[in-house]
Amino acid sequence: MLTLLKKIFTWWNQDTFGTRLKTILFGKFVGSDSLGNKYYEDKKGKRWVIYSDEIDATKIPVEWYSWMHFTSNKIEKDHELKKFDWQKPHQSNSTGTEKAYYPYKNKDNVINKKYKSWKSE
């Protein structure tokens, strides 16, 4: 019962009841990505994604991002773009968590200045 109420009234727990209903009635399944996200389109051309897990817009791969934003209407069939050695794997947004980046989090990371600031006397 609690799961049903969460589906109806919250948008941050995957898709809501309204989104599910719209997807069933009007959505045409276009494809899914390696993370399990499913992509849909209606007859008018509106596009949306139903996330497999936690809703996070940074979890949309590059090839699907361009499709979602109408940059390219063509979807790569392989969904395997050439990855270079310098490209890092996906990391979720860690803002506001313990894993967030702070420039001076550890005193060891502080760069020692090689100059003295000028003071007027």
Does the predicted TM-score (pTM) go above 0.75? Answer: no
Is pLDDT at 25 greater than 90 in this prediction? Answer: yes
Q: Which domain holds residue 68?
A: 2-80
Counting DSSP H helices and E strands in the chain, the numbers are 3, 3
Output 14 or 35, whichever has higher pLDDT: 35
Largest CA distance in the chain: 76
- Can you give the pLDDT at residue 29? 94
> What does the pLDDT read at residue 35?
85
pLDDT digits (tens, 9 = 90+) for 56-98: 888 888 778 888 888 877 665 545 567 788 877 777 778 888 8
58 in a structural domain: yes
The 10 Å CB-count burial string (b at 16+, else e) for 81-113 is: eeeeeeeeeeeeeeeeeeeeeeeeeeeeeeeee
Pairing of strands 47-50, 38-41: antiparallel
Q: Is residue 121 part of a domain?
A: no
- Whether residue 119 lies inside any domain: the answer is no
Number of compact structural domains in the chain: 1
